[in-house]
Amino acid sequence: MAHINKNSLKKFLLYYIPVHILLYYIVIIFAPEHPGKYFIAGILSITGPLVSTVILFFTVRKKRSAEKVLWGLLFLGTVFYFLGELIWDIYFLKMEQIPLSPNLANIIFSLKPLFYLAAFIFLVSHDLRKTRMAITIVDILIIVMVISSFSWYLLVGPFFTHLNATIPEITILLSYPLLELLILFGIFHARFFVKQAIVSKKSLNIFALSTVTMLISTCIYLFFLIYNLEDLLIYLNPLYTMGMFYISMATLYADNDQLPERMNSRKKDLTQSHFLPLVSIVLLIIIYGIYNRGIDELFIGLIFSFFLLFIRLFILLKENRQLNVLLKNAKQELEEKNKKLEKTIKELEKINEIRSIEARTDFLTGLYNRRYIDSLLHSLIKEANNEHKPFSILLIDIDHFKSVNDRYGHDVGDIVIQKAAQIFLSSVRTTDILGRFGGEEFIIILPNSYLQAGVQLAKRIHQKMEDYSILINEQCINITVSIGVTVWEINDQFNDIYRRVDEALYEAKKERNTIIIKTKTPMIDNEFN
């Protein structure tokens, strides 16, 4: 299976299924007296569930997590159907008839729809909360109850009056169409109302076709039993076999759709499906009012439907209480966050009050000093790590500044620092933070800015300094700068980001008059160099 092309297998089954069914009818119609008729018919009957079992087995092996659960349940259901069909065929070979009373085949057959129902309940519940899932199940039960009431009143009840059967016999016989009906509604709900299905639309359509085929076959089977047409039961087997072949097709088409397509196809709100049970109950009330005959099948169905409706309302009330609790908790959480935010603002205000202008500015340039820059950087890092607000940093050094001091004196050096500070100040935004870091080093912090903004500012400053000359004592002094650039990244602390920008400046000073970018991701470094 793992080495077989899926498309080839799809085409093979598409052509093989009608040939298989035709072959079955040829055997039972044109060779009625052949001694091997029942044996050949039995082999043909188990082919469908056998093929589906094999395909589902390899499908389960390939799936993971939620998909594995879904296909595992379908696989188990198919296995039990195969075993039931095998036992059924043995009955035919030994007795050439099936007894009406409950037997091993009946019991094993009934396990198949139970596992299938569990599979589609799981599929429906995959993207639902527990309470919402409970409501969905109750809705499906209401719809099935209404349909069952109509069916029993109009069709099944009158038919069973002709059938001499015990309560266990009737229970087993009716369990088949009832479970298949539940499966059909489970598929319907998954097809139209599940927002993120793990099975393709085409696969669900084929599953629905398989279930409808099984349901029709079961109804015909009951009709044959009621009117003592057991000899015709052998003609029914191809329909069941065809239904099992459809399971194989559905499995092969499970992954055929693209996930975005599956998701976009579920545009209907889940709550739209909940109108169906209410409408069905209203319809049942109207029909019962028209045919008011006291306590009959319609009345009993109406009582059970109202009971299920009461359960639904109870679940809704419980869900509303849970939502109120969640809303209250969310409100408390929001209030706590607001308190934390207010606390942070007060701390910042307190810092601004404590530190005077003299304490936070550099006496030579009037820019922020290192002490104040450090405190701002700590605050920005804290804010960035909590709220993911990025910022970039430039560390600037005046090239060959020692030679300027040595040649022209410290007074000229001070002028050079002041002129450089003016150029830097004319280059930054009003929201940027500019400071003298010490000696000939300057720092610029760009709040709410990514790396690209920092690089652009560095290039702008670098170009201005190259084009600028300072005239001192009729001598023209050209100044260049080396710049290191970095940006805050997730989980960065003060030492992390300062070390990175310091390393960038150190490398830039080796070459002089250049810009070096340092980040955690080397790919970003190369992007701007």
Structure tokens belonging to residue 300? 């009993």
CA 342 to chain centroid, in Å, comes to: 36
Residue 442 to residue 397: CA distance in whole angstroms: 6
149: helix, coil or strand? helix
The per-residue DSSP string of 341-368 comes to HHHHHHHHHHHHHHS-HHHHB-TTT-SB
Residue 398 to residue 402: CA distance in whole angstroms: 9
The strand pair at 469-472 and 475-478 is best described as: antiparallel
Question: How far lies 10's CA from each of 16, 72, 165, 170, 252, in Å?
Answer: 10, 21, 43, 39, 7
Measured between alpha carbons, how far apart are the two ends of the chain, in Å?
A: 53
Q: 54-68 burial, b if ≥16 CB within 10 A, otherwise e?
A: ebbeebbeebeeebe
Confirm if 436 and 370 have CB atoms less than 8 A apart. Answer: yes
Structure tokens belonging to residue 376? 């701002």
List 391's β-bridge partners, or say none.
Answer: 447
Q: Which of 485, 494, 486 has the alpha carbon at shortest distance from 382?
A: 494
Confirm if 248 and 55 have CB atoms less than 8 A apart. Answer: yes
Instruction: Tell the residue number behind the tokens 């090239």, with chain if given.
Output: 399
Q: Which of 440, 474, 507, 527 is catalytic?
A: 440
226: helix, coil or strand? helix
The per-residue DSSP string of 19-34 comes to HHHHHHHHHHHH-TT-
176: helix, coil or strand? helix
Q: Long-range contacts made by residues 156-161, C-beta under 8 angstroms, separation at least 24?
A: 156/222, 157/297, 159/222, 159/223, 159/226, 160/226
Q: Which of 89, 83, 98 has the alpha carbon at shortest distance from 172?
A: 98
Residue 197 to residue 521: CA distance in whole angstroms: 37
Q: At what angle do helices 297-354 and 130-151 cross, to 10 degrees?
A: 160
Please count the other Cβ atoms lying within 10 Å of the Cβ belonging to residue 89: 20
List 483's β-bridge partners, or say none.
Answer: 396, 515
The strand pair at 441-447 and 515-517 is best described as: unpaired
440 assigned to active site = yes
218: helix, coil or strand? helix
Q: Which of 480, 444, 449 has the alpha carbon at shortest distance from 367?
A: 444
In this structure, what DSSP letter does residue 267 have? -
| Active site amino acids | 440
